[in-house]
């Protein structure tokens, strides 16, 4: 399937054929090669063949977003309840279908470069397209209840979600740094708005502003990195960078190294790797809760897709340079994420640090720089998508109207208020802690194995110790869920008891004689929690996938197949 | 390899899981009536299957029996493989015996559905750990025990239960970090020797483990040892133990001490000695020393305890140190004694915690200063307690004596001075156990003071329950109920049976132990394994499980000298 640009055709029609050389049908070249006109495959640099099937899911989302806008323009201001989320998830479903078809496409299986080398069409891309489509479906369903509760329902949120997913897909499929940057910006700009979407909540506006300022800063750094890498290698295409570096030693290694470092910073910001994580707690806390889940799933997946492409494909030959950097990033991310999460008293903030910590494990897979490592990282992202969207959906239900209660106390006694919701949250928490028979355990297993396979024993041990630290705060929430709403840790009399209470992460509670009069966890709201149907569906699907992918191997076979040919 | 028509081992692992699911599914309204009978039925059915397994297990065989293997995550060489040998057989039996006692013996309050659900889940995980023939399965089963363990302690424990449960979880989870990395490292490093395929199969890994470089074996063993030392727990990794055991509910303490301990000890044997024998041989003296230190330190600390439950918890440290001592003596008697001690300790400590729970029910306190003179009021409790104490002390005729004796003899053969140090525990053990008995049951009955320190005593128990119990205790202390006697009777029967007729046990355990030691001896000739090889035994092992190389190869490749005499045991085919 090949077309010429419309402009070229028009020019070709008015050009006298006698003064030029006809190279091929519909293709003429002026004497001396000064002017090239028409459908010229080799001579005309403007000729680009567009393989639409390679970008079908992206197109579906982008066109879907526009259709959604158009539909909203002709409908009354308040259309039928649930129309927009249903349409959005239908669009997401179409994209998912397209992506699944791509999965079985021979070209994707073989791995080809399409559209003038700008799009990588392989199973790695396709797996991420599937992931992003699923994230769109789940998040749009989970957002419905939230947006209606908060009086924010309308088409805008869904359009933004589709647009940012489009950007994320472009990042996943990018064949060069320019496309990667384009995708990054499309995704990020929508996410900035989504973060600030709750107009009446100051934290939301603050989150949007903070995300925007720091995000643009990191985009600028990334772009600077692109320029430097281009300067050092003469190309922005991953394959060309790789082949140049394989054959030549760059004249100025400093430029390349600086460019590489800036690329890592820019992408590290998106995936919230320490020390580029400072925006994460504030943004995750301030953003509307279902959007936080979307952000954590999609932005992270797209960022890691970019990181994997840049580091393992474009700069694969420079492993000796970037591996130590990623090693350090992974250790810092694991450690800081886990330790800081312990100190949090806000549920969303804690989950923000938890997501930072989770990114550390994906970095482990990146650091391995092998097929196995990359597929392990992919698997991690895939399972994490379900976990994180499900978790934030639960938090959304728990926090109540106006996000009134996001402190840890709000979740206390959840099992009494809604046993199924409590059990679902427990499964999702255990999965994040990496307990066996959940997808979280297998995901950790794969990255650790990839890491050990490369002889990174220390990194693997550090990662597992970080998991032990992280288990603490996941379990603490798990325990709160099963506590009676009014129950408190009994006062402690034995020596050393004080530090025990501190270690348990709970504020010392007033004893019967009132000796320790300090703040307690706020009592949770009472009454049974009603879960909107769509949200319940999202949570159910997340939990089921988390368990199914934890006891069987289908998901890893999937991820492994995605990377088998790279 | 025995294969029966029914997948016996799979039933043994999955039946408690089914029990857990059924227990959780019983509606809350019917829970009061149905939870306990249904749970009991499941527990007894499990016990029945295990009894069948023990009866069907052939004596004199050294290999894994009832093997069942299904590919699970094929591309990583992970399979769902189960099998039982002499070493795991009695641990499984002990587990299936102790669980019903722990579930239905002690009184516990609260939600019966979730309590039984967690307990059954724990039983399934313990069975899976003991029966797994795949490292991956072993690890996930080993890990999953933490979750029900955590929730049982946190949900039904004493005043500081949250702290204790969290400490328990974090400590063991951190230890598992090393186990996890060590397992993966072993698999990855062994892959080139297995035709480039990764495998988690225990038997395959044991076969090719001799190809691993010595230094790697040592490091991998250290990874195993740290994880299991935390779980066992070996001094100095024991600090989580007193808190957890004191705060756990009676049922929880019984299971934690009786069975979860053994997971670590079993892992040390199954993973440490079997898979990386050279590493085990190198680090053996260190572990022996830690065990000896643990025995002395544990004894001293135990004597000082002022609380009965804490005393039993610390006494456990001494007992498990004995087990480790036996293992790393690398002698047939030592390891067999260690295995027997694992079973003994499960029975004895399980019974002990049960009785301690009853004492607490009667008196509302466990401090020695507030106890005394119970014998008059509760003669049955006192006599049963005395039997258990004597078993723990090692009175001949009861099970403790056989195990302790074997361990000490086995250690004396190979590591004389460690045995001498360890023997001191026989004396101190008698001191703290008998003294504890004396302080609880003899002397004048200490009447609780009418009031005043009520708030203080309340702290040793759960919330307001203690007050009620105290009031009751002040009026009249009754003896054990028939239900309680029935609950503890199986444990007593086990204690007596293993004491007077240990042959049933030894006939099945010794071949497996000897086979394991022959493997260690062959892989690590400098480990000073006595006795096994001089007998030139032919091990009754299925061909596909045989991990022993031929004697000729042993002589030339491993030993380095030319004389075939005294070289490893013949790799017999059963």
Give ipTM to 2 decimals.
0.82
Nearest CB partner across the interface for A471, out of B74, B173, B187: B173
CA distance A523 to chain B (A): 18
Chain A within 8 Å of B573 (Cβ-Cβ)?
no
The whole-number average pLDDT for the span B424-429 is 88
Q: Are A548 and A430 in contact (CB under 8 A)?
A: no
Please tell me the predicted confidence (pLDDT) of residue B539. 72
CA distance A250 to A233: 7
Percentage of residues of chain B with pLDDT beyond 90: 37
Mean per-residue pLDDT for A403-412? 84
Q: Which of A79-88, A303-312, B121-130, B448-457 has the lowest mean pLDDT?
A: B448-457
Min CA distance, A469 vs chain B (Å)?
Answer: 7
The whole-number pLDDT of residue A24 equals: 61
DSSP SS3 for A112: strand
- Regarding beta strands A27-29 and A21-24, do their DSSP bridges make them parallel or antiparallel, or are they unpaired? antiparallel
Kindly state whether B224 is in contact with chain A, defined as any CB-CB distance less than 8 angstroms.
Answer: no
Say yes or no to pLDDT of A505 above 90.
no
Task: Please say whether the beta carbons of A507 and A480 come within 8 A.
Answer: no
CA-to-CA distance for A454 and B184, rounded, in angstroms? 11
Instruction: Let me know: does B228 contact B264? Beta carbons within 8 Å.
Output: yes
B401, B506 Cβ separation under 8 angstroms: no
The distance of B300 to chain A (nearest Cα, Å) reads: 20
Residue predicted with more confidence, B195 or A454: A454
This prediction has a pTM of: 0.85
> Nearest by CB to A479, which of B154, B167, B185?
B154
Please report, for chain B, how many H helices and E strands are present, in that order: 25, 2
Dist. CA A77–CA B442, nearest whole Å: 85
Which one of B73, B181, B243 has the shortest CB-CB distance to A556?
B73
B29 Cβ under 8 Å from any chain A Cβ: no
- Chain A interface, mutation test: which of B148, B166, B461, most A Cβ atoms within 10 Å? B166
- Minimal Cα distance from A458: which residue of B? B181
Higher confidence at residue B483 or residue B109? B483
pLDDT value, residue A5: 40
- pLDDT higher than threshold 80 for residue A40: no
- The minimal CB distance from A468 to the residues B74, B170, B185 is found for B170
Rounded Cα distance between B480 and A539, Å, is 49
Q: How far is B247 from chain A (nearest CA, A)?
A: 12
The contact set of A with B (CB < 8 A) is 430, 435-437, 441, 445, 448-449, 452-453, 457, 460-461, 464-465, 467-469, 471-472, 475-476, 479, 482, 489-494, 497, 500-501, 503-506, 512-513, 553, 556-557, 560
Cβ separation A464–B144 shorter than 8 A? no
Q: At A135, is the pLDDT very low, low, confident or very high (cuts 50, 70, 90)? A: very high
* Residue B399 CA, distance from chain mean position: 15
Buried b (16+ CB within 10 A) or exposed e, B131-170: bbbbbbbbbbbbbbbbbbbbbbbbbbbbbbbbbbbbbbbb
Spatial distance between the Cα atoms of A240 and B92, rounded to a whole number of angstroms = 61
**Stretch B315-327: mean pLDDT:** 91
Tell me the pLDDT band of A35, cut-offs 50, 70 and 90. low
Are B336 and B327 within 8 A, CB to CB?
Answer: no
| pLDDT-derived band at B343, boundaries 50, 70, 90 | very high
Distance from CA of A564 to the nearest CA of B (A): 12
Which 194-223 residues of chain B touch chain A by CB within 8 A? 219
pLDDT-above-70 percentage for chain A: 84
Contact B166 A506 (CB under 8 A): no
**Per-residue tokens: A176:** 């060069």
Q: How far apart are CA B259 and CA B524, in angstroms?
A: 30
The verdict on B80 touching A (C-beta cutoff 8 Å) is: no
Identify from A439, A480, A504 which residue to disrupt to test chain B contact, counting B C-beta atoms within 10 A and taking the largest count. Answer: A504
């Amino acid at each position: 399937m090949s077309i010429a640009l419309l402009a070229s055709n028009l020019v070709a029609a008015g050009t006298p054929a006698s003064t030029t050389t006809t190279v091929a049908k519909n293709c003429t070249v002026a004497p001396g090669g000064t002017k090239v006109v028409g459908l010229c495959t080799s001579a005309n640099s403007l000729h680009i063949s567009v393989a639409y099937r390679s970008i079908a899911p992206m197109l579906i989302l982008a066109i879907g977003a526009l259709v959604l806008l158009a539909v909203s323009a002709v409908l009354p201001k308040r259309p039928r309840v649930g129309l927009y989320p249903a349409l959005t998830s239908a669009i997401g479903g179409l994209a998912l279908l397209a992506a699944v078809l791509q999965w079985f496409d021979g070209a994707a299986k073989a791995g080809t470069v399409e559209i003038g080398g700008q799009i990588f069409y392989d199973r790695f891309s396709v797996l991420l397209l599937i992931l992003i489509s699923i994230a769109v479906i789940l998040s749009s369903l989970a957002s419905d209840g939230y947006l209606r509760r908060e009086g924010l329902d309308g088409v805008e949120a869904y359009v933004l979600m589709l647009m940012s997913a489009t950007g994320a897909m472009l990042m996943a499929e990018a064949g060069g740094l320019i496309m990667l940057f384009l995708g990054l910006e499309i995704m990020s700009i929508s996410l900035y708005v989504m973060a600030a979407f709750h107009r009446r909540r100051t934290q939301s506006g603050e989150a949007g502003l903070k995300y925007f300022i720091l995000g643009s800063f990191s985009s600028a750094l990334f772009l600077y990195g692109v320029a430097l890498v281009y300067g050092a290698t003469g190309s922005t295409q991953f394959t060309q960078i790789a082949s140049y570096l394989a054959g030549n030693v760059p004249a100025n290694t400093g430029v390349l190294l600086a460019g590489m470092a800036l690329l890592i910073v820019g992408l590290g910001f998106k995936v919230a790797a320490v020390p580029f994580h400072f925006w994460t707690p504030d943004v995750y806390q301030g953003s509307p809760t279902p959007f936080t889940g979307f952000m954590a799933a999609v932005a992270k997946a797209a960022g890691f897709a970019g990181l994997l492409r840049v580091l393992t494909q474009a700069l694969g030959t420079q492993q000796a340079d970037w591996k130590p950097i990623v090693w350090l990033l992974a250790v810092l991310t694991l450690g800081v994420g886990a330790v800081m999460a312990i100190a949090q008293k806000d549920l969303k903030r804690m989950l923000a640090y938890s997501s930072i910590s989770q990114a550390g494990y994906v970095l482990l897979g990146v650091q391995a720089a092998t097929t196995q490592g990359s597929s392990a990282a992919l698997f991690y992202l895939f399972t994490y998508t379900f976990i994180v969207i499900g978790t934030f959906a639960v938090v959304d239900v728990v926090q109540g109207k106006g996000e009134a209660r996001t402190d840890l106390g709000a979740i206390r006694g959840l099992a009494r208020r809604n046993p199924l919701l409590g059990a679902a949250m427990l499964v999702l928490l255990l999965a994040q802690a990496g307990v066996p028979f959940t997808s979280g355990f297998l995901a950790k297993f794969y990255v650790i194995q990839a890491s050990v396979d490369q002889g990174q024993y220390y990194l693997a041990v550090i990662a597992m110790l970080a998991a032990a630290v992280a288990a603490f705060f996941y379990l603490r929430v798990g325990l709160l869920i099963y506590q009676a709403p009014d129950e408190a840790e009994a006062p402690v009399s034995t020596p050393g008891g004080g530090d025990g209470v501190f270690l348990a992460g709970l504020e010392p509670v007033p004893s019967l004689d009132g000796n320790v009069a300090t703040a307690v966890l706020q009592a949770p709201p009472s009454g049974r929690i009603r879960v909107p149907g769509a949200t319940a569906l999202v949570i159910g699907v997340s939990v089921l996938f988390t368990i199914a992918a934890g006891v069987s191997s289908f998901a890893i076979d999937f991820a492994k197949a995605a990377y088998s040919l790279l | 390899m025995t294969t029966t028509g029914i997948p016996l081992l799979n039933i043994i692992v999955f039946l408690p899981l089914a029990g857990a699911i059924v227990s959780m599914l019983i509606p809350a309204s019917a829970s009061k009536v149905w939870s306990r009978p249904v749970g009991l039925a499941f527990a007894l059915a499990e016990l029945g299957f295990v009894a069948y397994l023990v009866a069907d297990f052939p004596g004199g065989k050294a290999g894994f029996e009832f093997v069942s293997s299904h590919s699970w995550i094929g591309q990583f060489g992970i399979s769902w493989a189960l099998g039982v040998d002499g070493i795991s057989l009695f641990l499984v039996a002990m587990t299936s015996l102790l669980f019903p006692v722990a579930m239905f013996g002690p009184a516990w309050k609260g939600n019966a559905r979730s309590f039984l659900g967690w307990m059954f889940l724990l039983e399934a995980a313990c069975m899976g750990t003991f029966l797994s023939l795949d490292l991956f399965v072993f690890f996930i089963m080993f890990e999953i025990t933490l979750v029900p363990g955590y929730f049982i302690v946190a949900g039904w424990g004493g005043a500081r239960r949250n702290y204790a449960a969290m400490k328990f979880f974090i400590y063991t989870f951190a230890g598992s970090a090393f186990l996890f990395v060590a397992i993966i490292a072993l698999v990855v490093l062994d892959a080139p020797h297995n035709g480039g395929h990764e495998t988690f199969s225990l038997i395959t890994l044991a076969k090719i483990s001799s190809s691993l470089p010595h230094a790697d074996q040592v490091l991998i063993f250290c990874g195993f040892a740290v994880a299991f030392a935390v779980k066992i727990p070996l001094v100095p990794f024991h600090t989580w133990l007193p808190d957890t055991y004191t705060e756990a509910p009676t049922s929880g303490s019984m299971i934690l001490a009786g069975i979860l301990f053994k997971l670590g000890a079993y892992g040390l044997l199954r993973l440490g000695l079997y898979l990386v024998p050279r590493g085990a041989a190198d680090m053996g003296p260190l572990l022996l020393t830690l065990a000896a230190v643990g025995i002395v330190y544990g004894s001293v600390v135990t004597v000082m305890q002022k609380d009965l439950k804490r005393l039993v918890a610390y006494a456990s440290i001494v007992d498990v140190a004995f087990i480790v001592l036996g293992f790393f003596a690398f002698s047939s008697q030592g390891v067999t004694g260690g295995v027997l001690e694992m079973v003994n300790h499960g029975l004895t400590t399980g019974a002990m915690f049960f009785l301690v729970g009853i004492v607490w029910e009667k008196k509302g306190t466990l401090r020695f200063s507030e106890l005394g003179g119970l014998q008059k009021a509760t003669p049955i409790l006192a006599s049963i307690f005395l039997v258990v104490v004597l078993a723990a002390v090692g009175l001949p005729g009861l099970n403790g004596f056989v195990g302790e004796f074997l361990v000490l003899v086995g250690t004396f053969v190979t590591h004389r001075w460690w045995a001498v140090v360890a023997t001191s525990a026989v004396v101190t053990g008698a001191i703290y156990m008998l003294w504890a008995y004396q302080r609880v049951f003899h002397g004048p009955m200490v009447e609780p003071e009418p009031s005043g320190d009520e708030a203080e005593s309340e702290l040793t128990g759960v919330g307001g329950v203690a007050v009620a119990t105290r009031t009751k205790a002040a009026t009249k202390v009754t003896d054990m109920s028939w239900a309680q006697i029935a609950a503890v009777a199986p444990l007593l029967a086990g204690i007596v049976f293993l004491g007077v007729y240990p042959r049933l046990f030894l006939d099945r355990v010794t071949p497996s132990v000897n086979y394991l030691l022959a493997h260690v001896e062959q892989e690590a000739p400098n480990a000073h394994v006595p006795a096994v090889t001089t007998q030139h035994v032919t091990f009754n092992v299925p061909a596909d499980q045989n991990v022993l190389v031929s004697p000729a190869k042993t002589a030339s490749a491993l030993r380095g000298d030319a004389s075939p005499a005294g070289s490893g045991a013949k790799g017999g085919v059963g």
